Amino acid sequence: MDDNGDTPISEDDWGAAIAEQEKAEAAAAEKTEAPPATAAIFKEFSGKSSTAPETHNDIDFILDIPVQLTVELGRTKIAIKNLLQLAQGSVVELDGLAGEPMDVLVNGCLIAQGEVVVVNDKFGIRLTDIVTPAERIRKLNK
């Protein structure tokens, strides 16, 4: 006993207390861990399953997604020194010829060609040739 009347704590007592605490922490960690992995259960994706909900084969759910539509008159390469000299009224020559069909791109992918029209003082494009999906895929594979 020490001066306060308490029994002195030996190194063996400390070791036993630490071991007991480690056991308690390990038990608590086991309770918070995820349950052991079991065989995953997957639903059948084919439409043949009678328990699968009915789905519509239409594209109505994507019709409101915005895409970038670009009408390209032509292209050119220009040196930076010439680019810096451009001012209001400057003319930049393009590779497209006057009266030649213009490319219509959606998100950078060619989908059609057309000609310029003016409607109510606004420019528009009349589509003259639509690129088929097969042609688009063929161009992607090149």
What domains sit in the chain, N to C, each tagged with a CATH number? 60-140 (2.30.330.10)
- Cα of first residue to Cα of last residue in the chain, in angstroms, is 91
DSSP string, 37-68: P--------STT-TTSPP-----GGGTT----
- pLDDT tens sequence across 77-108: 999 999 999 999 999 888 877 778 899 998 88
> Which of 37 and 86 is assigned the larger pLDDT?
86
pLDDT in the model for residue 11: 62
Q: What is the pTM of this model?
A: 0.49
- Cβ 23 vs Cβ 15: under 8 Å: no
Average pLDDT of the chain to the nearest whole number: 78
Return d(Cα 86, Cα 140) in angstroms, integer: 35
Q: Provide the 3-class DSSP secondary structure of residue 1.
A: coil
CB neighbour list of residue 141: distance below 8 Å, 6 or more residues apart: none
Strand, helix or coil for residue 127: strand
